[in-house]
Structure 1
Amino acid sequence: MDEPRGRGRPRKNPAAPARWTPPEGWSRLVAWISPEEKKALKHVAVEADVSVADLVRSLASGLAEGVISHEELLGHVSRGKQVMEKIPTLFERDERFQVVDRPRAECAWVFDGAGVGTEKLDGTNVRLTVRSGRLVRVEKRRNPSKAQKQQGIVDGWYVDTDESSADDKWILAAAGNTDVSEWPDGEHPCEALGPRIQGNPLALDDHLCVPFDFQAPTVLDVPRSYQGLREFLTTLDSKFSPGHLAEGIVFHHPDGRRAKIKRKDFPRSAAAA
């Protein structure tokens, strides 16, 4: 019985090594990618019936010929990195999962004074896609399960909402109540807020979505130390809903990096001090 043949296209001359001579002036590009990224590229390449190299080259060709602009590409890359990657907390945590006065190395830029602070809103992470001032898609964030985390999947992803699902009712209500007529075209990560979302800590009267990329409330003169932030957050009034405490602060670096700290991250006894 013959053994099943593996995937791939046989060479015209199996005895000869595969060779390809690039056109004059061409150069070779090498990049390191994760196993998951490699798998994703291969999946798309198989669907398109091309090699991974041809797939990457088609993207470069699209940029060179103006089929896709560099602004569009960078926008997708930036949004993907900023939204889906987990935002690190400023300080290390103890065995009770509360922060201690030990800054995390990747957040050193915050303590060096870089970036600006915005109010962290306590709701549900969603993504709204807008075209010509109209809402065309509503997605919600899905976080990896415990089993998936054990498999090395740590970052979340977005899935479509379902109008017939009770779980998505209030997310869709928030999206429907949000005026996007002046929003730029694109995919906008947002926080969905309102009476039926996350206990409504800001005591809002209705549901709506606040985009992270251009409407997050800026907070001035934010301290950059453990003690300073601890005390600052015990009295920080929400700019979005005056009269209610803000959940925390998200620091934004000009290059797209972010870092966060929440009032409840600190030990309860310290927060009450």
Structure 2
Amino acid sequence: MEKIPTIFERDGRFHVVDRPRADCGWVFDGVGAATEKLDGTNVRLTVRCGTLVRVEKRRNPSREQKQRGIVDGWYVDAGAEDKWITAAADGTDVSAWPDGEHSCEAIGPRVQGNPLGLAAHVCVPFNLSVPVYADVPRDFAGLRAFLATVDSAYAPGRPPEGIVFHHPDGRRAKIKRKDFGP
């Protein structure tokens, strides 16, 4: 699983600056759909004939692995210690999902502090049901203002974590509210 790049360059405090990343130029050209970035835990659900057959969680490389050149994350089976991931998987109706592996965001009361204020755990598949925003600005000032005022499409009345832009060829790029700093 490839890490999704942030659309702007960063400064020494790790905040974004008004300088687009070259590899994300397509975002600023107006290409791709803007979806809500949900604040949860990345998981992968495998579905066969409308039945959940495998639950995996994402693992990111350690500092030592990064120094050896391993930069992309991977999935491992969720275990007994992953009860909130399991609760989210169990709380997700996959009966109409197509067969295959589906990367999702596990969200709910015991995941990442529950910033969306949800009452139940669930997995939201990136390829099937992540909320899309229309008319999202594609410039630094516009995105900062948009993210400061927009409601979550998934949980109205709550702020979204950010935006993920999806290119038709499968590339993705992101911006989070916190990237702009205080």
Larger relative contact order (Cα-Cα within 8 Å, sequence gap ≥ 6):
2
Q: Please say if 1:114 is aligned against 2:28.
A: no
Residue 140 of structure 2 corresponds to residue 226 of structure 1: yes
Structure-2 residue corresponding to 1:62: none
**TM-aligned CA deviation for residue 267 of structure 1:** 2.2
Does residue 131 (structure 1) correspond to residue 48 (structure 2)? The answer is yes
User: 1:211 — aligned with what?
Assistant: 125
Aligned match of 1:149: 66
- For residue 210 of structure 1, give the secondary structure of its aligned residue in structure 2: strand
Q: Shift in Å at residue 87 of structure 1?
A: 0.5
SS in 2 for 1:174: helix
Q: Could you tell me how far apart the structure 2 residues matched to 1:115 and 1:187 are? A: 23
The partner residue of 1:183 within 82, 97, 116 is 97
- The equivalent position to 1:247 in structure 2, one of 139, 161, 165, is 161
Paired with 1:189 and 1:116, the residues of 2 have a C-alpha distance of 18
Displacement of 1:236: 1.0
Determine the C-alpha separation between the residues in 1 that align with 2:153 and 2:20: 27
Q: Note the residue ranges of structure 2 that are not aligned, 5 or more in a row.
A: none
Aligned residue type for 2:106: A
Q: Distance in 1 between matches of 2:17 and 2:98?
A: 40
137, 150, 172: which one pairs with 1:258? 172
Distance 1:161 1:236 in 2: 34
Q: Give the deviation of 1:214 after TM superposition.
A: 1.2
Query: Which protein shows a greater Rg?
Result: 1
- Using the size of structure 1 for normalisation, the TM-score is 0.66
User: Which whole-Å deviations, capped at 9, do the CAs of 1:186-216 have from their partners, x for residues lacking one?
Assistant: 0000000000000000000010000001111
3-state SS of 1:92 partner: strand
The letter for the 1-side match of 2:62 is S
Structure 1 residue 156 displacement after superposition: 0.2
Q: Structure 2: how far apart are the matches of 1:125 and 1:113? A: 27
Q: What is the CA–CA distance in structure 2 between the aligned matches of 1:190 and 1:206, rounded to whole Å?
A: 16
3-state DSSP class of the match of 2:23?
helix
Determine which of 85, 88, 96 is the counterpart of 1:171: 85
Letter in 2 for 1:185: D
Instruction: Compute the TM-score of the two structures, normalised by the length of structure 2.
Output: 0.99
The within-5 A match list for 1:66-145 is 84-145=1-62
Segments of 4+ moved more than 3 angstroms: none
Take 1:236 and 1:135, find their aligned partners in 2: how far apart are those partners? 34
**CA RMSD, 1 decimal:** 0.5
* Structure 2 CA distance for aligned equivalents of residues 237 and 223 of structure 1: 15
How many aligned residue pairs are there? 182
Shift of 1:237: 0.3
Ranges in structure 1 where 5+ consecutive residues have no aligned partner: 1-83, 269-273
